[in-house]
Amino acid sequence: QNFIIKKYDFSNVNQVEDIKRQLLGRRILLINAKELLENGEVSELKKCIEELKAFLRENGGSIGRLGEHYLILTPNAHVKISN
């Protein structure tokens, strides 16, 4: 399987469905959530992350944090994040 690594600017909570579509398209996403955090939408971001975690669990993917503003999401069990 081929995978693509893509930087993704997460600036609006309505982008969750697009993020899911990207993951289903075998993309590894480096998500920049800085804009949401700076706009004070922390509780909304947490809800989005919980929704994405559930989606990733169903599909065998994983999620990790990279610094203060970035997340990495992998689409399925073929790509895992190691600590």
For the chain, domains (ranges, CATH) are 4-74 (3.30.110.150)
Q: pLDDT tens across 11-61, in order? A: 999 999 999 999 999 999 999 999 988 988 889 999 999 999 999 999 999
CB-count burial class (<10 Å; 0-12, 13-18, 19+) for 30:
middle
Pick 76 or 41 by higher pLDDT. 76
Report the predicted TM-score, pTM, of the whole model to 2 decimal places. 0.91
Give residues with Cβ within 8 angstroms of 36, minimum separation 6. Answer: 10, 11, 12, 13, 42, 44, 45
Predicted pLDDT at 26: 95
CA 56 – CA 21 distance, rounded (Å): 12
For helices 42-59 and 16-24, angle between their N-to-C axes, nearest 10 degrees: 30
